[in-house]
Amino acid sequence: MKSTIDYYIDQLINHTNLFDSNINTFDSEKTLDFTNEVILITGAAGTIGEELFRQLTGCQYQKIILVDIAESALYNLSIEFQKQITDAIVFKVANLNDFASIKHIFETYKPTMVFHCAAYKHVPLMEVNPYEAVKTNILATKELADLSTKHQVETFVFISSDKAVEPTSIMGMTKNIAEQYLNNITSDPKTKFTITRFGNILGSSGSVLPVFLKQIELNLPVTITSKDMTRFFIGKQKACQLILESTRIKNLKNNTLIFSKSQPVKISDLAKSVISISKKENLTIEVTGIRSGEKMHETMISVNETLAFTEHPDIFLIEDKKKSAKKIADFKSLENITPNLSTQEVESILRAFL
């Protein structure tokens, strides 16, 4: 039985012209062989981490370690998959900023493949919690990457965001700096670092669609920040299948990828379509104004980047037009950021890296 949100997603894809028909094309019969892999997923109880796990359960693997700080969400995931759980699936409640705990996980389970999905993603929240954004999105990513190099992890996949491109928000800046760090260590001969960059996951927790549905359920006005704002969308099943398939592409000239080339969607059009599907009369759309850190329009690549084909029709390589020297980030200034600093002070430190 489909959930309410899945019903709306189906209706939006199949009965409106908002999205490409293949936005969530997913081949459930297609499986990849991870027989020799010990797979670590951070943010395993989040939208991307959970869907990666869901798809991996249909594959051959040696062991999967699911790491998340959200105890209840991780517990619910374990209950859902309790019939499939064996010693090959491990649930670990851990804070990525507790480096001793993460180090212990690497030493104990010796992962060969890491999918780093954990991050703080909500732009307005990170504008007022910049210290937490820096700790989790940058410093924890650095620690995971360093541990992966030290322990000779074969494949490290970082889940990035279109908000990392020419960022205006704290969240986007932290993702951009994390991408920079991974780009600086891609020359390591043992660990292959891959950055996967995409837009909004249609229907993900905390994204705009669940907010609309909650407002409709309560007969409240559906709120948007601007009539003209656009965003890129991709379905979680397709996104995660492409993440897994990206690990099998060989001889990449670079390490940053995007998935598909969909057109941006106006959030106001999405709101109108959701109201129409609900069949509720007299619902209104209320424009609340752009929030701090938000862009009117996102882009998947910067003005200094271009796209190249790979062997996969839905996976594209991002290349640097200028072939400029990679920045070497001095993380001491980031490590010295404290909760006492204002958003403006943290932003000033972050902008020095851009």
User: Which tokens hold the place of 128?
Assistant: 């007022």
Residue 128 has pLDDT above 90, yes or no: yes
* Average pLDDT, integer, range 53-59: 94
Answer yes or no: are the C-beta atoms of 239 and 161 closer than 8 Å.
no
User: Which tokens hold the place of 95?
Assistant: 């804070």
Q: What confidence category does residue 318 fall into, taking pLDDT thresholds of 50, 70 and 90?
A: very high
| Cα three-residue angle 153-60-205, rounded to 5 degrees | 75
CA–CA distance from 106 to each of 24, 92, 146, 341, 354 (Å)?
Answer: 33, 12, 11, 32, 31
CA dihedral defined by 197, 198, 204, 210, rounded to 10 degrees?
140
Residue 187 has pLDDT above 60, yes or no: no
Residue 77 has pLDDT above 90, yes or no: yes
Beta pairing, strands 200-201 & 233-234: parallel
Q: State the pTM of this model.
A: 0.95
Where do the DSSP E strands lie in the chain?
Answer: 33-42, 60-68, 89-93, 113-116, 155-159, 192-197, 200-201, 222-224, 230-231, 233-234, 256-259, 265-266, 285-287, 305-309, 315-320
Q: Residues 284-303, buried b or exposed e (16+ Cβ, 10 A)?
A: ebeeeeeeebbbeebebbee
For the chain, what are the domain ranges? 32-204+232-263+301-351
* Average pLDDT, integer, range 15-41: 88
* Average pLDDT, integer, range 150-154: 95
Higher pLDDT, 258 or 1: 258
Q: Return d(Cα 44, Cα 48) in angstroms, integer.
A: 8
Answer yes or no: are the C-beta atoms of 282 and 220 closer than 8 Å.
no
Q: What percent of the chain has pLDDT over 90?
A: 82
Residue identified by tokens 């943290």 is 346
pLDDT (0 to 100) of residue 326? 56
User: Could you read off the pLDDT of 160-175 as tens digits, one per residue?
Assistant: 999 999 999 999 999 9
Residue 186 has pLDDT above 80, yes or no: no
User: Could you read off the pLDDT of 213-246 as tens digits, one per residue?
Assistant: 999 999 999 999 999 999 999 999 999 999 999 9
Question: Which residues does the annotation mark as catalytic?
Answer: 163
Q: Report domain 32-204+232-263+301-351's class.
A: alpha beta
Q: Return d(Cα 238, Cα 10) in angstroms, integer.
A: 14
Q: What percent of the chain has pLDDT over 70?
A: 96
Q: Residues 33-46, buried b or exposed e (16+ Cβ, 10 A)?
A: ebeebbbbbbbbbb
Q: What confidence category does residue 324 fall into, taking pLDDT thresholds of 50, 70 and 90?
A: low
User: Which tokens hold the place of 207?
Assistant: 């994204």
Q: Return d(Cα 25, Cα 88) in angstroms, integer.
A: 29
Q: Return d(Cα 269, Cα 62) in angstroms, integer.
A: 45
Q: How far is CA 154 from the centre of its chain?
A: 21
pLDDT (0 to 100) of residue 329? 61
